[in-house]
Amino acid sequence: MRPFQPDIVLYDVLGDVVCGGFAAPIREGYAEDVLIVTSGEKMALYAANNIASAVDNFADRGYAKVRGIILNRRNIPQETEKVEAFARQRNLQIVADIPRSDAINTFEEQGMTVIEGDRSLPISQRFIKLAQDLLKDEHHGV
């Protein structure tokens, strides 16, 4: 029987970067592609850069590659410009732009994702489209 290998693994950027936990699935072969979720906040971009650098350091071992960036907006000044500059510097694509939404917090307080809470919301539809796009690209070798 083949061991369980998830299609997508998500990490808490700051927590996992600090303890180095994000690297284990890459080293163990659980991840082929890494998507970095970041806002334009200084510490988030610092952590995102650490992840990108670590993945680059593993490149010669064929572990994984950074597939792109997901901008998780915090609505800070010049956020778009900061994340776009980071993406250009690392030669990465921003694959999704997730706006701030009070609905996310509302449903998290109820122990649900926004999709579980109300699939019809625009923010839910954005997450669904992102998942569909990622899985479609994964199966087509993009």
The answer on 74 and 41 residing in a single domain is yes
Q: How many domains does the chain have?
A: 2
Q: What is the pTM of this model?
A: 0.79
Tokens of 114: 């926004």
Whether 109 is in a domain gets the answer yes
Query: How confident is the model at residue 140, as a pLDDT?
Result: 47
Same domain, 4 and 53: yes
- Domain shared by 33 and 14, yes or no: yes
Q: Please indicate, yes or no, whether residues 40 and 110 belong to a single structural domain of this protein.
A: no
Q: 79 with 108, same domain?
A: no
Looking at the domain assignment, is residue 142 inside a domain? Answer: no
Q: What is the mean pLDDT of each run of 10 residues along the chain (142 residues)?
A: 55 54 67 86 91 81 83 95 98 94 94 95 94 74 47
Cβ atoms of 26 and 65 within 8 Å: the answer is: no
Structural domain boundaries enclosing 60: 1-100
The answer to whether residues 41 and 107 belong to one domain is no
Distance in angstroms (rounded) separating the CA atoms of residues 27 and 22 = 9
Q: Please list, in sequence order, all residues whose beta carbon lies within 8 angstroms of the beta carbon of residue 37, skipping any fewer than 6 positions away.
A: 10, 13, 69, 70, 72
CA distances in angstroms from 47 to 25, 42, 51, 100, 120, listed in the order given: 17, 9, 6, 20, 33
On whether both 24 and 92 belong to a single domain, the answer is yes
In a domain, residue 62? The reply is yes
